[in-house]
Amino acid sequence: MAGRPKIYDEEKALDSAIEVFWKKGYENASAGDLLKAMGIGKGSFYLAYKGGKPELFEKSVKRVVDHHLRGFWDILENCPDPVQAIKDFFFLLIDPASPVGQRGCFFGNAVLQIEDKTLKKMAASQLHLIGKAFTDALKRAKKAGTLTSSQSPEVLGLHLLNLWNGIHLTKMVEKDTAKLREILKMNLSLLDSKVKI
Amino acid sequence: MAGRPKIYDEEKALDSAIEVFWKKGYENASAGDLLKAMGIGKGSFYLAYKGGKPELFEKSVKRVVDHHLRGFWDILENCPDPVQAIKDFFFLLIDPASPVGQRGCFFGNAVLQIEDKTLKKMAASQLHLIGKAFTDALKRAKKAGTLTSSQSPEVLGLHLLNLWNGIHLTKMVEKDTAKLREILKMNLSLLDSKVKI
DNA sequence: CCAATATTGTACCAATTAGTACAAAAAGTA
DNA sequence: TACTTTTTGTACTAATTGGTACAATATTGG
């Protein structure tokens, strides 16, 4: 148990790779781009990621789940009013000042960018989990009485995933934030009881 | 004005290229893939598309607009009840038996796949046009009295574009068609007057 | 049937790619 | 100090890439 110590920080390097994947897309990110951003050489890279780019992406997915999504999940699971938290979150998503930016959803992008079936499925199942997180939060809200819609949490959770999927792309096309706010208001009003289908 | 005649059908070759772009994604489609599918050699290809893959994609976009979208636009502009046509169309989109399949939206995919700014913007503006087509159809429906929602056609049109963007991705993740139908029903009910926001 | 023109297939090139091999380096340990 | 272990950087390979050059081919018009 000795050996030359790593000169780089594994998590920081991984985060840099994630940035590249997110910004350029999976297929556009060459090994060279990734190595450069990660600040390591080929020797270190293929030692740490014997599977090359696919393995790096797999680890990136896990890191995005653990790092970027974990906080959001915790809020959904613990906040007093999940419905309000969800609404706030979506409006944050279209705020031009928000750090979320114009990069889209890491997993949604991946599903539409990656040809490799294994990686594509992995990204798709993460998206599905986001839907499940919405659903679970809504179930809790239903019990607590803050979800007043008569629709089932399952259907509403999928609706929110669909809204999530849509808005990430739509906001790249429609720059009028006021209009985006209007459609969010409409879509989120489906969680309220006053809206009868 | 003479010369050796073309051995291939330009439109058929272009359609084949579109298939490749649609199925594999822009970045995954190599020049080799495209030539093979188009059934032509390099000589013919670089004679017809001096700009290479970008030019081919540009022509593909125009062809998809003219060929795939035109029919839909005509219906929207001429049918007696645009609201009903729109609803039918969305349900067709999630029908497993539909030829639309799992390839997603040609333009939406492109926006998320292509790094080249010019091509990306071209795809984005086509998406925007789809939203405008919805809006225009809804304006007509409003005048005809078949659009009963009190929301403006502009906002509802953008909502439909957003639904379009979302459902193309969501149906790749959620295979339960019944659930998909439920969220379509909900989202499309926003066009009806009985739904008050 | 010859000239002009446009298309085709192939051979070729230069650049970039992912990935491997391996020796040098930097630590711990005895 | 010498040995072991792990990481690092570089040099290298093999394959694929997009794109060009060009001679051969197939047509129309004079």
Grade residue A194 by pLDDT with cuts at 50, 70 and 90. Answer: low
CA/C1' separation B7–D27 (Å)? 12
Q: Which residue is nearest to nucleotide C22 (CA to C1')?
A: A43
Partner residue opposite A172 with nearest CB, options B104, B111, B182: B111
On whether the CB atoms of residues A34 and A53 are closer than 8 A, the answer is yes
Q: Check if residue A2 sits with its Cβ under 7 angstroms from strand C.
A: yes
Q: What residues contact residue A42 under an 8 Å CB cut-off, 6+ apart?
A: A35
Quote the tokens at residue B177. Answer: 């068609």
On whether the CB atoms of residues B17 and B11 are closer than 8 A, the answer is no
Chain B residues inside the 8 Å CB shell of A102: none
Identify the pLDDT of residue A196. 55
Distance separating alpha carbons of residues B110 and B60, to the nearest angstrom: 11
List per-residue pLDDT tens for chain B, 197 residues long.
588 999 999 999 999 999 999 999 999 999 999 999 999 999 999 999 999 999 999 999 999 999 989 999 999 999 999 999 999 999 999 999 888 889 999 999 999 999 999 999 999 999 999 999 999 999 999 999 999 999 999 999 999 999 999 999 999 999 999 999 999 999 999 999 765 55
Q: Do A158 and B151 touch (CB under 8 A)?
A: no
In this predicted structure, the answer to whether residue A105 has a pLDDT above a threshold of 60 is: yes
Q: Is B1 exposed, middle or buried (0-12, 13-18, 19+ CB in 10 A)?
A: exposed
**By 3-state DSSP, what share of chain A in percent is helix, strand and coil, each rounded to 5?**
70, 0, 30
Identify the pLDDT of residue A57. 98
In this predicted structure, the answer to whether residue A101 has a pLDDT above a threshold of 90 is: no
Region of poorest pLDDT, from A78-82, A96-100, B33-37: A96-100
Chain B residues inside the 8 Å CB shell of A25: 27, 112-113, 115
pLDDT in tens, A21-67: 999 999 999 999 999 999 999 999 999 999 999 999 999 999 999 99
Amino acid B125 reads S
Identify the pLDDT of residue B99. 83
> In strand C, which positions have an atom below 7 A from any protein CB?
3-11, 16-29
Judged by C1' against the alpha carbon of A47, the nearest nucleotide is D7
CA/C1' separation A127–C19 (Å)? 32
Identify the pLDDT of residue A153. 98
> How far is residue A87 from each of residues A82, A94, B130, measured CA to CA in Å?
9, 12, 27
